[in-house]
Structure 1
Amino acid sequence: MRRKIAAALLASALVLTACGGGDDDKAADGPVSLRMTIWTGNADHLALFNSIADEYRKTHPNVTEIKFDTLPIETYTTGLTTQIAGGNAPDLAWILENSAPDFVSSGALVPLKVEGSEDLIPSTTKLWQTGGKLYAYPFSTSPFGVFVNNDLIKQAGQQTPAELIAANQWTWEKAYAVNAAVNAGTGKGGLVVRDFDYKTWDNLASVWGGWGASPWSDDGKKCGFADQPMVDAMTAFHKAIFTDKAVPGPGTAPDFFAGNAAMTITQISRASLLKDSKFGWDLVPLPAGPKGTYGVIGQAGIGVMKKGRNADAAAGFLAYFTNPENSAKLAKYFPPPRKSLLTADNLAKTNPLLKPEQLQKVVIDGISVGKVKPSHTGQAELSQTVRAALDPLWKPDADVKSVLGGVCSKIQPMLGK
């Protein structure tokens, strides 16, 4: 019932938003207060956003306030659509890649004009445009990589990922073996898929991509959970959790950044958590799978809500927030979609904790080969249905193939609509 309510809320909110502009969007000449919903509460992120906003207001005195409104990442889209449905739509909003198809196709967003649009890499904007128009700026196009605690790995008598890469042996089979040895030898956690927590299943794209698996076909019409690549990937993952103890099981949450796990899969925006690290660490690409090397990208766009109170003024601020100069500043945490900025040297200037070669191999090369995390229209209901259908998988005696077949039984009618 909850997932149906959440899906209905998203659908109704977007229909309401698409019906027309806000009451005050023509009043940009008077005092304007802008609000952007975001999901980060990181103090460094907020300081950067506020500094850009302060500079903008110096030349736009009619904009009296620009507020960044943090909503919890776990319920972000629900929180955003609740605001919209309640008549309290923000002026601008971050949008997750998994809900992009719904927002873009609904007409809920204002078409954007982007300074230096010719510099945008076409593959980064694909998800955010329709009819030749861009409806959200993909400010974060961030491949997943693996942060590594070399001290724990050496303590367990294992080769580090860098050594395995040099020997052309950095594979999922080796990665699971190293993490199992760390857990057995040190009692610490092995590999943590950050923000997965046995709930956010689409983060596992960073794992199953190595098997060439996908939750559904490219056209979105056929379920892929029961296909052999997914069965093989999830069988290996299940074994890593419950047999080999290479991956922490349900109900456990070792913190890699506190030194309590050997590896974590996440994006470079987390690197700031290693600023005062007491252990030796590295950042490496995802391990190769049976289908070879691959990349997975998490994306986020910023859009102007058509139903916001100050759509015109919001579009003006977004154009400034995402211009080449500010995109370079945002690149410290959020890899930009601009080709001119995607060089190892440029990214290193704003990411002093990361080496140019790490940025090249994980970020730049990852964008060149990566696929964006799965998304689909009707994502809210679809995602909740998949999550519930996967719940039986997270038990030691689960029949992986049967559970994945059950996922398809549940979602195939939804995909076929």
Structure 2
Amino acid sequence: MDRLETSARLLIVSDLDHTMVDHHDPENLSLLRFNALWESKYRHDSLLVFSTGRSPTLYKQLRKEKPMLTPDITIMSVGTEITYGISMVPDDGWVDILNQKWDRNIVVEEASKVPELKLQSETEQRPHKVSFYVDKSKAQELTKELSEKLAKRELDVKIIYSGGMDLDILPKSAGKGQALAYLLQKFKKEGKSPKNTLVCGDSGNDAELFSIPEVYGVMVSNAQEELLQWHAENAKHNSKIIHAVERCAGGIIQAIGQFGLGPNTSPRDVSETADSHLEDAGPAHEVVKFNISYEKWRRAEVEHCETYIESLKASCLPTGSFIHPSGVEKCLRESICEMKKIYGDEEGKGYRVWVDRVLPTKISSDTWLVKFVKWEVLGEEQQSCICTAVLICEDVNGLKTYNWAHLHETWSEGSGAKDNARWLL
């Protein structure tokens, strides 16, 4: 919460499975489109929150499987765990709130008396969440029965049914909505309330997010019946909540534009020609665009021509230098020339490139220091490196352009190419 010194321009709070992440899209295109938009236009002055029913174990597993960004805040286990930053530092104040009138042992004891409940895996059982599978036809009846039993034991609990099969028992004060309300209150106390908040979801356990006053909300086009029914019964006249026409992250991008919350054209949706005419796009945009161009070349999604290589070289100063993760120092323009021999080498192989945590800092009147993490994925293998770049801003015919003066890459922990030639830039 301390990354920004002032109020966030936009706070996005999004569910993961079937909202931010489309499990029916093997190319992960909508997610990659959102990533490029966020890193190029929002990361520097906005905050990203992932709010998921997943436990920390399954959340970390998803991050290994999908090209996901690093959120500023993570809400997990259906709003029972709040952590901050890449280190996922827990919020102890939230734990104190959840401990009130909650006894996990009593919850487990009473639930064990209901044979229709099937306990979920051990990873999904958390200090303030007990999770089961239950048949859809039995969910409403069992929810009522459990609520009565636990009330007699003097516990304040909340039972959430979602996804057509998941039943979670939580403290009364828990939940995605309450976790967000808690965070918004913390921001308010610090005098840094977000200027706009957009919540995004697809299932029943997301309904609470849409109940927070003053937020904008998007139910993605593939939202489940349980969420659409909640909306029809509780919020159908709320113009700040829409049902998108696009799936998953595409629906989030649509909502940003429809509500006028900021730019919603992803760099992945802009042609190379049109992109060159953008007004001051900023150093973060240049970093995102450069890496997308590199990906397109290796996927053979652009024409195999000298002009493409020359345009990339033109974005680098003649004296521009590059330190490869292996430690070898090269000339940036020479490294780009080496791309000629690898055109289309990853065509049809699921190869993707994306950047994360792009944070530019102006260090002089025309110079920017940009730190970011670059990821490459080929099949099931992901590799990343920590990058530091120096970009020089020039005014060309009234438009600002950003030229690469230096790029230094080091392998992230756990990464390292088996073949250094494969990681070219």
Question: Is TM (by shorter chain) over 0.5?
Answer: no
Flag the structure with larger Rg: 2
Q: Which has the higher helix share?
A: 1
Q: Which has the higher strand share?
A: 2
Higher relative contact order (CA 8 A, sep 6+): 1
